[in-house]
Amino acid sequence: MSIITSARTSGTFSKFYKIKSAGTIGFITAIIAAALSSLPDVISKPIVDPKVSGVNPADPLFVVFIMYMVTGAVFTPITKLQKPKNPVKKSSYLVLMIYGAASACSTLAFSYGLKETSASNASVLANSEIVFTVLIGMIIYKEYLAKREIFPFVLIAAGAIFLPIASDAYEHKLEFTKFVFGDVMVLISGFIYCLCTFIAKHAGNVNTTKVVQVMSLSGAGMCLVAMLFTGTKFNMSLSDMSLLSVVGVSGIGGSVLFFVLAVRMIGAVRTILVYSSSTAFGIVYSGAYLLEAINPFTVSSIIVVAFGLYRLRYKLAA
């Protein structure tokens, strides 16, 4: 009898350990995705905004095309090295193509918004995807937040949205009119990216690198068609193109790779909550790369978000 009891206890602890490990790994994966996703938001700012670089800016449509095209080209040989366990269904390809087009639209809207507003402000407003994701997740997918996750969610929302907005109001003395168009475009970007989160769930058990490859090439294809239709000039310096290539592979390909893994491990709602830490990364990158001022509100935001993420990690692992 004791042997049976011991075996059952061992099995229970084994299941608990697997759940705890999956939650922790999912949390770390989402954090990495957030850190990488903030790179294009900041690095591309001088390329699309003449006020920062002092030279003729590149069209955001061409910027997005370069990043997605290079990412797809890099992940294509990687995908061929990995043999899929099961053949990819046509329906999965269709979902991934829609995902790619939506993702490119989100990045494009963000790029146009970034052209009109500061990188730190754009990083703040991008967290509107938290609200959209939680609402859609609860209404359509029934992914309700557990009671123990409400407090970490409030902390993350306060640190990633409300405090940075207060920072923006303080810095610009409540003059939001100059940033209306940019802010609206970033908000639209957040909504579209929120939809991408749930679209990715319908791709089935497709290899993650395959997801990135098809998504990137589909997004690049959509941008190319839009460029030909609008007559956008293929004009960019070699140095900027090289920089965007690196940023695209890491910031788009790498972030999507880790993001999809996180969604599969801890769910869409929890992933987007952790992913909201991209605000903190964006603010840090903006200060380091663009030398944008960091005020007490910004520091407070980073601290509150970090504490909220720590609490959420603890709850996910529990």
Best-predicted range by mean pLDDT among 85-99, 121-135, 136-150, 239-253?
A: 239-253
Confidence at residue 178, expressed as pLDDT on a 0 to 100 scale? 54
Q: Residue 215 above 60 pLDDT?
A: yes
| 8 is a domain residue | no
| 4 is a domain residue | no
- Domain total in the chain: 1
252-271 confidence digits (pLDDT tens):
888 888 988 888 888 776 78
Confidence at residue 302, expressed as pLDDT on a 0 to 100 scale? 72
pLDDT top residue among 235 and 127? 235
Mean pLDDT of all residues in 97-112 = 88
| 6 is a domain residue | no
Best-predicted range by mean pLDDT among 39-53, 67-81, 86-100, 275-289?
A: 67-81
Confidence at residue 141, expressed as pLDDT on a 0 to 100 scale? 66
Mean pLDDT of all residues in 56-76 = 88
Q: What is the 3-state secondary structure (H, E, C) of the chain?
A: CHHHHHHHHHHHHHHHHHHHHHHHHHHHHHHHHHHHHHHHHHHCHHHHCHHHHCCCCCCHHHHHHHHHHHHHHHHHHHHHHCCCCCCCCHHHHHHHHHHHHHHHHHHHHHHHHHHHCCHHHHHHHCCHHHHHHHHHHHHCCCCCCCHHHHHHHHHHHHHHHHHHHHHHHHHHCCCCHHHHHHHHHHHHHHHHHHHHHHHHHHHCCCCHHHHHHHHHHHHHHHHHHHHHHHCCCCCCCHHHHHHHHHHHHHHHHHHHHHHHHHHHHHCHHHHHHHHCCHHHHHHHHHHHHCCCCCCHHHHHHHHHHHHHHHHHHHHHHC
The per-residue pLDDT of the chain, averaged, comes to 76
| 235 is a domain residue | yes
Confidence at residue 259, expressed as pLDDT on a 0 to 100 scale? 85
Confidence at residue 4, expressed as pLDDT on a 0 to 100 scale? 43
Confidence at residue 180, expressed as pLDDT on a 0 to 100 scale? 62
Domain with 142, as residue range(s), is: 28-317
| 11 is a domain residue | no
Confidence at residue 1, expressed as pLDDT on a 0 to 100 scale? 46
What percent of the chain has a predicted confidence (pLDDT) above 90? 7
| 81 is a domain residue | yes
Mean pLDDT of all residues in 134-160 = 73
Write down the pTM of the prediction. 0.75
